[in-house]
Amino acid sequence: MDAAPATERVNLLGLPRPGLEQFVAQLGSKPFRARQLMGWIYKRGVGDFTAMTDLARSFRDRLGEQAEVRPPQIVRVQRSTDGTTKWLLQADASQAFEMVFIPEPDRGTLCISSQVGCVLDCSFCSTAQQGFNRNLTAAEIVGQVWLAARELEREAGPAQRPAGDERHVTNVVLMGMGEPLANFRNVVPALNILTDDFGFDLSRRRVTLSTSGLVPQIYKLAEESNVALAVSLHAPDDELRNQLVPINRKHPIAELLSACWHYLDEQNGRSVTFEYVMLDGVNDSPAQARALARLLKGHPAKVNLIPFNPFPGTVYRRSSAEAIQAFRDELLRRGVLATVRRTRGDDIDAACGQLAGRVTDRTTVRLGSKVISVAVQP
Ligand code: SAH
Protein backbone atom coordinates (compact mmCIF):
# COMPACT_ATOMS: atom_id res chain seq x y z
CA MET A 1 0.00 0.00 0.00
CA ASP A 2 1.24 3.50 -0.82
CA ALA A 3 1.91 5.80 2.07
CA ALA A 4 -0.94 8.27 2.45
CA PRO A 5 0.07 11.92 2.13
CA ALA A 6 0.55 13.53 5.54
CA THR A 7 -2.68 15.49 5.33
CA GLU A 8 -4.77 12.34 4.92
CA ARG A 9 -3.29 10.48 7.81
CA VAL A 10 -5.56 9.95 10.76
CA ASN A 11 -4.48 12.12 13.67
CA LEU A 12 -4.74 9.71 16.60
CA LEU A 13 -5.03 12.58 19.09
CA GLY A 14 -8.65 12.98 17.98
CA LEU A 15 -9.73 9.36 18.51
CA PRO A 16 -11.27 8.26 21.82
CA ARG A 17 -10.61 4.64 22.76
CA PRO A 18 -13.52 2.99 20.86
CA GLY A 19 -12.59 4.84 17.67
CA LEU A 20 -8.94 3.95 18.11
CA GLU A 21 -9.81 0.30 18.66
CA GLN A 22 -11.75 0.33 15.41
CA PHE A 23 -8.90 1.99 13.58
CA VAL A 24 -6.38 -0.49 14.94
CA ALA A 25 -8.65 -3.36 13.85
CA GLN A 26 -8.82 -1.88 10.37
CA LEU A 27 -5.05 -2.01 10.26
CA GLY A 28 -5.31 -5.75 10.98
CA SER A 29 -4.23 -5.63 14.60
CA LYS A 30 -6.01 -6.70 17.77
CA PRO A 31 -8.20 -4.01 19.37
CA PHE A 32 -6.29 -4.27 22.68
CA ARG A 33 -3.28 -2.84 20.89
CA ALA A 34 -5.15 0.45 21.04
CA ARG A 35 -4.56 0.57 24.78
CA GLN A 36 -0.86 -0.08 24.30
CA LEU A 37 -0.77 2.68 21.74
CA MET A 38 -2.54 5.07 24.09
CA GLY A 39 0.02 4.22 26.76
CA TRP A 40 2.78 5.43 24.48
CA ILE A 41 0.93 8.51 23.30
CA TYR A 42 -0.62 9.76 26.54
CA LYS A 43 1.38 8.27 29.39
CA ARG A 44 4.81 8.61 27.86
CA GLY A 45 4.16 11.51 25.48
CA VAL A 46 5.62 9.64 22.52
CA GLY A 47 4.29 10.48 19.07
CA ASP A 48 6.83 8.67 16.95
CA PHE A 49 5.59 5.17 16.07
CA THR A 50 9.09 3.86 15.40
CA ALA A 51 9.93 4.41 19.09
CA MET A 52 7.03 2.21 20.28
CA THR A 53 9.23 -0.81 20.67
CA ASP A 54 6.74 -3.28 22.14
CA LEU A 55 4.49 -3.03 19.08
CA ALA A 56 5.15 -5.36 16.14
CA ARG A 57 7.30 -3.76 13.48
CA SER A 58 4.73 -4.44 10.76
CA PHE A 59 2.05 -2.70 12.85
CA ARG A 60 4.35 0.27 13.47
CA ASP A 61 5.00 0.50 9.74
CA ARG A 62 1.30 0.54 8.96
CA LEU A 63 0.72 3.18 11.62
CA GLY A 64 3.48 5.26 10.08
CA GLU A 65 1.77 5.08 6.71
CA GLN A 66 -1.76 5.81 7.80
CA ALA A 67 -1.67 7.62 11.10
CA GLU A 68 0.10 10.41 12.89
CA VAL A 69 0.25 12.09 16.29
CA ARG A 70 0.18 15.73 15.36
CA PRO A 71 -0.35 18.49 17.96
CA PRO A 72 -0.94 22.08 16.86
CA GLN A 73 2.21 23.95 15.84
CA ILE A 74 3.56 26.61 18.14
CA VAL A 75 3.77 30.06 16.62
CA ARG A 76 4.95 31.95 19.68
CA VAL A 77 5.50 31.41 23.41
CA GLN A 78 5.20 34.17 26.04
CA ARG A 79 6.08 33.92 29.70
CA SER A 80 4.60 36.09 32.41
CA THR A 81 6.65 37.28 35.36
CA ASP A 82 4.28 35.21 37.55
CA GLY A 83 5.21 31.94 35.79
CA THR A 84 2.12 31.80 33.56
CA THR A 85 2.93 30.71 30.01
CA LYS A 86 0.87 31.48 26.93
CA TRP A 87 1.27 29.68 23.61
CA LEU A 88 -0.03 31.01 20.33
CA LEU A 89 -0.91 28.00 18.19
CA GLN A 90 -1.49 27.74 14.49
CA ALA A 91 -4.97 26.82 13.26
CA ASP A 92 -4.70 27.63 9.57
CA ALA A 93 -2.52 29.72 7.32
CA SER A 94 -3.85 32.95 8.74
CA GLN A 95 -5.51 31.94 11.99
CA ALA A 96 -4.18 31.26 15.44
CA PHE A 97 -5.56 30.38 18.87
CA GLU A 98 -4.15 30.37 22.36
CA MET A 99 -3.64 28.19 25.40
CA VAL A 100 -2.37 29.24 28.82
CA PHE A 101 -0.61 27.31 31.59
CA ILE A 102 -1.06 28.62 35.13
CA PRO A 103 1.28 27.11 37.75
CA GLU A 104 0.24 27.19 41.39
CA PRO A 105 1.87 25.58 44.42
CA ASP A 106 -0.54 22.65 44.47
CA ARG A 107 -1.69 22.38 40.88
CA GLY A 108 -0.89 23.19 37.28
CA THR A 109 -3.90 24.36 35.31
CA LEU A 110 -3.98 24.35 31.54
CA CYS A 111 -6.60 26.63 29.99
CA ILE A 112 -7.42 25.43 26.49
CA SER A 113 -9.43 26.80 23.57
CA SER A 114 -12.32 25.07 21.81
CA GLN A 115 -12.81 27.42 18.87
CA VAL A 116 -10.84 29.97 16.89
CA GLY A 117 -12.70 33.12 17.92
CA CYS A 118 -16.25 32.97 19.25
CA VAL A 119 -19.78 33.49 17.91
CA LEU A 120 -21.14 34.81 21.17
CA ASP A 121 -20.94 38.50 21.62
CA CYS A 122 -20.27 39.00 25.32
CA SER A 123 -19.60 42.70 25.64
CA PHE A 124 -16.73 42.41 28.15
CA CYS A 125 -14.69 39.72 26.36
CA SER A 126 -11.95 40.48 23.89
CA THR A 127 -12.26 37.13 22.11
CA ALA A 128 -15.75 38.22 21.05
CA GLN A 129 -14.33 41.22 19.24
CA GLN A 130 -12.25 38.97 17.07
CA GLY A 131 -15.28 37.30 15.50
CA PHE A 132 -15.53 33.61 14.71
CA ASN A 133 -13.30 31.63 12.43
CA ARG A 134 -13.93 27.92 13.01
CA ASN A 135 -14.35 25.06 15.45
CA LEU A 136 -11.21 23.31 16.62
CA THR A 137 -11.09 19.58 15.85
CA ALA A 138 -11.00 17.00 18.64
CA ALA A 139 -7.33 16.41 17.77
CA GLU A 140 -6.58 20.12 18.14
CA ILE A 141 -8.33 20.24 21.51
CA VAL A 142 -6.57 17.14 22.88
CA GLY A 143 -3.39 18.20 21.06
CA GLN A 144 -3.16 21.30 23.25
CA VAL A 145 -2.92 19.17 26.40
CA TRP A 146 -0.51 16.73 24.76
CA LEU A 147 1.69 19.57 23.56
CA ALA A 148 1.70 21.47 26.85
CA ALA A 149 2.57 18.32 28.81
CA ARG A 150 5.52 17.72 26.50
CA GLU A 151 6.71 21.31 26.45
CA LEU A 152 6.57 21.61 30.25
CA GLU A 153 8.47 18.37 30.67
CA ARG A 154 11.08 19.52 28.19
CA GLU A 155 11.47 22.95 29.82
CA ALA A 156 11.82 21.77 33.38
CA GLY A 157 13.58 18.48 32.80
CA PRO A 158 12.54 15.68 35.17
CA ALA A 159 15.45 16.28 37.55
CA GLN A 160 15.12 20.02 38.04
CA ARG A 161 11.46 20.79 38.50
CA PRO A 162 11.30 24.01 40.53
CA ALA A 163 9.95 23.44 44.01
CA GLY A 164 6.80 25.32 44.98
CA ASP A 165 5.22 25.71 41.58
CA GLU A 166 3.60 22.72 39.93
CA ARG A 167 4.92 22.56 36.37
CA HIS A 168 2.80 19.80 35.01
CA VAL A 169 -0.75 19.69 33.89
CA THR A 170 -2.90 18.45 36.77
CA ASN A 171 -6.10 20.30 35.78
CA VAL A 172 -7.62 21.28 32.45
CA VAL A 173 -10.18 24.05 32.03
CA LEU A 174 -12.04 24.77 28.79
CA MET A 175 -11.95 28.48 29.45
CA GLY A 176 -9.82 29.67 26.58
CA MET A 177 -11.12 31.00 23.28
CA GLY A 178 -14.55 29.91 22.13
CA GLU A 179 -17.75 28.43 23.50
CA PRO A 180 -17.13 24.72 24.10
CA LEU A 181 -20.80 23.74 23.91
CA ALA A 182 -21.09 25.37 20.48
CA ASN A 183 -18.50 22.80 19.36
CA PHE A 184 -20.14 19.86 21.11
CA ARG A 185 -19.28 17.31 18.40
CA ASN A 186 -15.53 17.77 18.90
CA VAL A 187 -15.44 18.75 22.56
CA VAL A 188 -17.13 15.61 23.91
CA PRO A 189 -14.66 13.13 22.32
CA ALA A 190 -11.83 15.34 23.56
CA LEU A 191 -13.23 15.23 27.11
CA ASN A 192 -13.41 11.45 26.86
CA ILE A 193 -9.73 11.24 26.02
CA LEU A 194 -8.79 13.60 28.86
CA THR A 195 -10.62 11.49 31.45
CA ASP A 196 -9.99 7.99 30.02
CA ASP A 197 -7.75 5.84 32.25
CA PHE A 198 -5.77 4.96 29.16
CA GLY A 199 -5.71 8.59 28.02
CA PHE A 200 -4.64 11.46 30.24
CA ASP A 201 -6.46 9.82 33.14
CA LEU A 202 -7.56 13.12 34.66
CA SER A 203 -10.28 12.76 37.26
CA ARG A 204 -13.62 14.31 36.21
CA ARG A 205 -13.20 16.91 38.93
CA ARG A 206 -9.98 18.11 37.36
CA VAL A 207 -11.54 18.87 34.00
CA THR A 208 -13.87 21.87 33.87
CA LEU A 209 -16.01 22.96 30.98
CA SER A 210 -17.11 26.58 31.12
CA THR A 211 -20.15 27.71 29.17
CA SER A 212 -21.94 31.00 28.62
CA GLY A 213 -25.18 29.07 29.00
CA LEU A 214 -26.25 27.08 25.93
CA VAL A 215 -29.13 25.41 27.74
CA PRO A 216 -30.05 22.58 25.31
CA GLN A 217 -26.39 21.55 25.11
CA ILE A 218 -26.10 21.43 28.91
CA TYR A 219 -28.89 18.80 28.89
CA LYS A 220 -27.07 16.94 26.13
CA LEU A 221 -23.78 17.13 27.99
CA ALA A 222 -25.44 15.54 31.02
CA GLU A 223 -25.99 12.44 28.89
CA GLU A 224 -22.51 12.24 27.45
CA SER A 225 -19.98 13.56 29.92
CA ASN A 226 -19.47 14.08 33.62
CA VAL A 227 -16.79 16.74 33.88
CA ALA A 228 -17.13 19.69 36.23
CA LEU A 229 -19.39 22.46 34.97
CA ALA A 230 -18.75 26.18 35.20
CA VAL A 231 -21.25 28.75 33.98
CA SER A 232 -20.55 32.36 33.06
CA LEU A 233 -23.39 34.08 34.88
CA HIS A 234 -22.11 37.65 35.36
CA ALA A 235 -25.46 39.18 36.32
CA PRO A 236 -28.21 38.42 38.84
CA ASP A 237 -31.14 39.44 36.61
CA ASP A 238 -32.19 38.93 33.00
CA GLU A 239 -32.24 42.59 32.11
CA LEU A 240 -28.55 43.05 32.85
CA ARG A 241 -27.50 39.59 31.64
CA ASN A 242 -29.21 40.26 28.28
CA GLN A 243 -26.74 43.10 27.81
CA LEU A 244 -23.61 41.38 29.08
CA VAL A 245 -24.17 37.85 27.74
CA PRO A 246 -26.59 38.21 24.80
CA ILE A 247 -27.28 34.46 24.59
CA ASN A 248 -29.38 35.11 27.71
CA ARG A 249 -32.14 36.53 25.47
CA LYS A 250 -32.58 33.02 24.12
CA HIS A 251 -31.94 31.11 27.35
CA PRO A 252 -32.81 33.25 30.38
CA ILE A 253 -31.41 32.74 33.87
CA ALA A 254 -34.22 30.56 35.29
CA GLU A 255 -33.87 28.06 32.42
CA LEU A 256 -30.12 28.12 32.71
CA LEU A 257 -30.19 27.36 36.42
CA SER A 258 -32.65 24.47 35.93
CA ALA A 259 -30.27 22.99 33.37
CA CYS A 260 -27.38 23.30 35.85
CA TRP A 261 -29.25 21.51 38.65
CA HIS A 262 -30.30 18.81 36.18
CA TYR A 263 -26.65 18.35 35.18
CA LEU A 264 -25.63 17.84 38.80
CA ASP A 265 -28.45 15.36 39.42
CA GLU A 266 -27.60 13.33 36.34
CA GLN A 267 -23.88 13.33 36.94
CA ASN A 268 -23.94 13.13 40.67
CA GLY A 269 -21.79 16.23 40.67
CA ARG A 270 -20.85 18.24 43.72
CA SER A 271 -21.56 21.77 42.60
CA VAL A 272 -21.63 24.16 39.68
CA THR A 273 -19.20 27.06 39.64
CA PHE A 274 -20.73 30.36 38.57
CA GLU A 275 -18.25 32.81 37.09
CA TYR A 276 -19.03 36.44 37.72
CA VAL A 277 -16.82 39.12 36.15
CA MET A 278 -16.58 42.19 38.37
CA LEU A 279 -17.39 45.31 36.35
CA ASP A 280 -17.19 48.63 38.11
CA GLY A 281 -20.61 50.22 38.57
CA VAL A 282 -22.31 47.63 36.34
CA ASN A 283 -22.86 44.42 38.31
CA ASP A 284 -20.87 44.91 41.53
CA SER A 285 -23.27 46.57 44.02
CA PRO A 286 -24.24 45.01 47.36
CA ALA A 287 -27.86 44.87 46.18
CA GLN A 288 -26.74 42.81 43.17
CA ALA A 289 -24.81 40.51 45.49
CA ARG A 290 -27.98 39.99 47.51
CA ALA A 291 -29.98 39.26 44.34
CA LEU A 292 -27.33 36.74 43.29
CA ALA A 293 -27.47 35.09 46.70
CA ARG A 294 -31.26 34.75 46.40
CA LEU A 295 -30.80 32.93 43.07
CA LEU A 296 -28.23 30.48 44.35
CA LYS A 297 -28.91 30.00 48.05
CA GLY A 298 -29.70 26.42 48.96
CA HIS A 299 -28.30 25.07 45.72
CA PRO A 300 -24.96 23.31 45.24
CA ALA A 301 -23.28 26.40 43.82
CA LYS A 302 -19.98 28.22 44.16
CA VAL A 303 -19.38 31.72 42.90
CA ASN A 304 -16.02 32.63 41.41
CA LEU A 305 -15.61 36.40 41.18
CA ILE A 306 -13.28 37.39 38.33
CA PRO A 307 -11.78 40.89 38.48
CA PHE A 308 -12.39 42.32 35.00
CA ASN A 309 -9.32 42.23 32.77
CA PRO A 310 -9.30 45.24 30.49
CA PHE A 311 -8.41 45.25 26.80
CA PRO A 312 -8.07 48.10 24.31
CA GLY A 313 -11.35 49.69 23.30
CA THR A 314 -13.41 48.35 26.20
CA VAL A 315 -15.92 50.59 27.94
CA TYR A 316 -15.69 48.63 31.21
CA ARG A 317 -13.48 49.12 34.24
CA ARG A 318 -12.45 46.63 36.90
CA SER A 319 -14.32 46.90 40.21
CA SER A 320 -12.21 48.14 43.11
CA ALA A 321 -10.68 45.57 45.44
CA GLU A 322 -13.00 46.86 48.18
CA ALA A 323 -16.11 46.41 46.03
CA ILE A 324 -15.05 42.87 45.14
CA GLN A 325 -14.44 41.99 48.76
CA ALA A 326 -17.73 43.52 49.88
CA PHE A 327 -19.56 41.58 47.15
CA ARG A 328 -17.93 38.35 48.26
CA ASP A 329 -18.71 39.01 51.93
CA GLU A 330 -22.34 39.75 51.09
CA LEU A 331 -22.57 36.33 49.38
CA LEU A 332 -20.80 34.52 52.21
CA ARG A 333 -23.05 36.13 54.81
CA ARG A 334 -26.02 34.69 52.94
CA GLY A 335 -24.55 31.21 52.88
CA VAL A 336 -23.31 31.24 49.26
CA LEU A 337 -19.76 30.01 48.78
CA ALA A 338 -17.67 32.63 46.98
CA THR A 339 -14.02 33.06 46.03
CA VAL A 340 -12.10 35.70 44.11
CA ARG A 341 -10.04 34.49 41.17
CA ARG A 342 -6.46 35.66 41.31
CA THR A 343 -5.49 37.47 38.15
CA ARG A 344 -2.64 35.64 36.43
CA GLY A 345 -0.60 36.40 33.35
CA ASP A 346 -2.12 39.80 32.63
CA ASP A 347 1.29 41.23 31.66
CA ILE A 348 1.21 38.95 28.61
CA ASP A 349 -2.55 39.29 27.97
CA ALA A 350 -3.10 35.73 29.15
CA ALA A 351 -5.74 36.54 31.78
CA CYS A 352 -9.45 35.64 31.48
CA GLY A 353 -11.08 37.34 28.53
CA GLN A 354 -7.83 38.68 27.12
CA LEU A 355 -7.05 35.83 24.76
CA ALA A 356 -6.43 37.01 21.22
CA GLY A 357 -6.80 40.56 22.41
CA ARG A 358 -5.10 43.40 20.58
CA VAL A 359 -5.56 41.81 17.23
CA THR A 360 -4.95 44.87 15.15
CA ASP A 361 -2.53 43.67 12.56
CA ARG A 362 -1.50 40.61 10.68
CA THR A 363 2.04 39.75 9.92
CA THR A 364 4.04 36.91 8.54
CA VAL A 365 6.01 34.62 10.77
CA ARG A 366 8.58 32.08 9.73
CA LEU A 367 7.68 28.67 11.10
CA GLY A 368 10.19 26.04 10.17
CA SER A 369 10.27 26.20 6.39
CA LYS A 370 6.79 27.69 6.17
CA VAL A 371 5.77 31.32 6.27
CA ILE A 372 2.36 31.93 7.79
CA SER A 373 0.31 34.95 8.64
CA VAL A 374 -0.73 35.48 12.23
CA ALA A 375 -2.39 38.09 14.33
CA VAL A 376 0.16 40.08 16.29
CA GLN A 377 0.17 42.52 19.12
CA PRO A 378 1.00 46.08 18.13
N1 SAH B 1 -17.38 30.75 26.33
C2 SAH B 1 -17.15 30.07 27.58
C3 SAH B 1 -15.70 29.81 27.80
C4 SAH B 1 -14.86 31.05 28.05
S5 SAH B 1 -14.36 30.98 29.69
C6 SAH B 1 -17.79 30.88 28.69
O7 SAH B 1 -18.31 31.95 28.41
O8 SAH B 1 -17.85 30.40 29.83
C9 SAH B 1 -13.67 32.51 29.98
C10 SAH B 1 -14.21 33.13 31.26
O11 SAH B 1 -13.63 34.45 31.39
C12 SAH B 1 -15.70 33.32 31.18
O13 SAH B 1 -16.30 33.23 32.42
C14 SAH B 1 -15.76 34.73 30.67
O15 SAH B 1 -17.01 35.29 30.89
C16 SAH B 1 -14.65 35.39 31.46
N17 SAH B 1 -14.20 36.64 30.83
C18 SAH B 1 -14.36 37.03 29.56
N19 SAH B 1 -13.83 38.24 29.35
C20 SAH B 1 -13.31 38.63 30.52
C21 SAH B 1 -12.57 39.78 30.94
N22 SAH B 1 -12.28 40.76 30.09
N23 SAH B 1 -12.17 39.83 32.21
C24 SAH B 1 -12.42 38.81 33.07
N25 SAH B 1 -13.09 37.71 32.73
C26 SAH B 1 -13.54 37.61 31.48
Express each pLDDT in 352-378 by its tens digit: 877 763 333 333 333 333 333 344 333
Confidence of residue 6 (pLDDT cuts 50, 70, 90): low
Q: Residues 63, 154: one domain?
A: no
Q: Residues 195, 155: one domain?
A: yes
Amino acid at 277: V
Strand 361-367 versus strand 272-278 pairing type: unpaired
Burial of 13 (0-12, 13-18, 19+ CB in 10 A): buried
Mean pLDDT on 226-255 = 98
Q: What is the position in ligand 1's atom list of the atom closest to the CA of 175?
A: 5
Q: Residues 107, 81: one domain?
A: yes
Per-residue 3-state assignment (H helix, E strand, C coil) for the chain: CCCCCHHHCEEHHHCCHHHHHHHHHHCCCCCCHHHHHHHHHHHCCCCCHHHCCCCCHHHHHHHHHHEECCCCCEEEEEECCCCCEEEEEEEECCEEEEEEEEECCCCEEEECCCEEECCCCCCCCHHHHCCEEEECCHHHHHHHHHHHHHHHHHHHCHHHCCCCCCCCCCEEEECCCCCHHHHHHHHHHHHHHHHCCCCCCCCHHHEEEEECCCHHHHHHHHHHCCCEEEEECCCCCHHHHHHHCHHHHCCCHHHHHHHHHHHHHHHCCCCEEEEEEEECCCCCCHHHHHHHHHHHCCCCEEEEEEECCCCCCCCCCECCHHHHHHHHHHHHHCCCEEEECCCCCHHHCCCCCCCCCCCCEEEEEEECCEEEEEEECC
Q: Residues 26, 120: one domain?
A: no
User: Does any domain span residue 5?
Assistant: no
Of residues 68, 98, 179, 330, which has the active-site annotation?
98
In total, how many domains does the chain have? 2
The pLDDT assigned to 164 comes to 56
Instruction: Point out which residues pair with 207 in neighbouring strands.
Output: 172
Burial of 163 (0-12, 13-18, 19+ CB in 10 A): exposed
The pLDDT assigned to 129 comes to 82
Q: Residues 84, 19: one domain?
A: no
Per-residue model confidence as pLDDT tens digits over 319-359: 999 999 999 999 999 999 999 998 888 888 887 877 763 33
User: Does any domain span residue 362?
Assistant: no
Active site residue 223: no
**Cβ of 284 below 6 Å from ligand 1:** no
Q: Choose the final residue of a domain: 68, 85, 113.
A: 68
Confidence of residue 128 (pLDDT cuts 50, 70, 90): confident
Amino acid at 313: G
The pLDDT assigned to 92 comes to 86
Report the alpha-carbon distance of residue 342 to residue 104 in Å, rounded: 11
The pLDDT assigned to 265 comes to 94
Q: Residues 18, 150: one domain?
A: no
Q: Choose the final residue of a domain: 68, 88, 110.
A: 68
Q: Ligand 1: distance of its center to the CA of 232 in Å? A: 7
Report the alpha-carbon distance of residue 104 to residue 359 in Å, rounded: 29
Q: Ligand 1: distance of its center to the CA of 113 in Å? A: 12
Report the alpha-carbon distance of residue 244 to residue 78 in Å, rounded: 30
Confidence of residue 53 (pLDDT cuts 50, 70, 90): very high
Residue closest via CA to ligand 1's atom 11 equals: 352
The pLDDT assigned to 351 comes to 78
User: Does any domain span residue 1?
Assistant: no
User: Does any domain span residue 332?
Assistant: yes
Q: What is the position in ligand 1's atom list of the atom closest to the CA of 307?
A: 24
The CATH number of whichever domain residue 239 belongs to comes to 3.20.20.70
Q: Residues 81, 52: one domain?
A: no
Q: How many residues does the chain have?
A: 378
Contact between 255 and 215 under an 8 Å Cβ cutoff? The reply is: yes
Mean pLDDT on 294-310 = 96
Q: Residues 190, 317: one domain?
A: yes
Find all residues with CB under 8 Å of 366, minimum gap 6, and list them.
Answer: none
Q: Give me the chain's average pLDDT, please.
A: 89
The pLDDT assigned to 357 comes to 32
Q: Residues 104, 172: one domain?
A: yes
**Cβ of 353 below 6 Å from ligand 1:** yes
Q: In this model, does residue 232 exceed pLDDT 90?
A: yes
User: Does any domain span residue 268?
Assistant: yes
Instruction: Point out which residues pair with 181 in neighbouring strands.
Output: none
The CATH number of whichever domain residue 26 belongs to comes to 1.10.150.530
Q: In this model, does residue 259 exceed pLDDT 60?
A: yes
* Torsion sign (Cα): 179, 180, 181, 182: positive
Q: Residues 59, 121: one domain?
A: no
Report the alpha-carbon distance of residue 317 to residue 296 in Å, rounded: 26
Q: Residues 85, 60: one domain?
A: no
User: Does any domain span residue 363?
Assistant: no
Burial of 327 (0-12, 13-18, 19+ CB in 10 A): buried
Find all residues with CB under 8 Å of 160, minimum gap 6, and list them.
Answer: none
User: Does any domain span residue 356?
Assistant: no
The pLDDT assigned to 343 comes to 86
Contact between 191 and 209 under an 8 Å Cβ cutoff? The reply is: yes
User: Does any domain span residue 188?
Assistant: yes
Active site residue 98: yes
The residue segments making up the domain with residue 45 are 10-68
The pLDDT assigned to 375 comes to 41
**Cβ of 274 below 6 Å from ligand 1:** no
Q: Residues 30, 146: one domain?
A: no
**Cβ of 275 below 6 Å from ligand 1:** yes
Confidence of residue 3 (pLDDT cuts 50, 70, 90): low
**Cβ of 277 below 6 Å from ligand 1:** yes
Q: In this model, does residue 276 exceed pLDDT 90?
A: yes
Q: In this model, does residue 189 exceed pLDDT 80?
A: yes
Mean pLDDT on 103-115 = 95
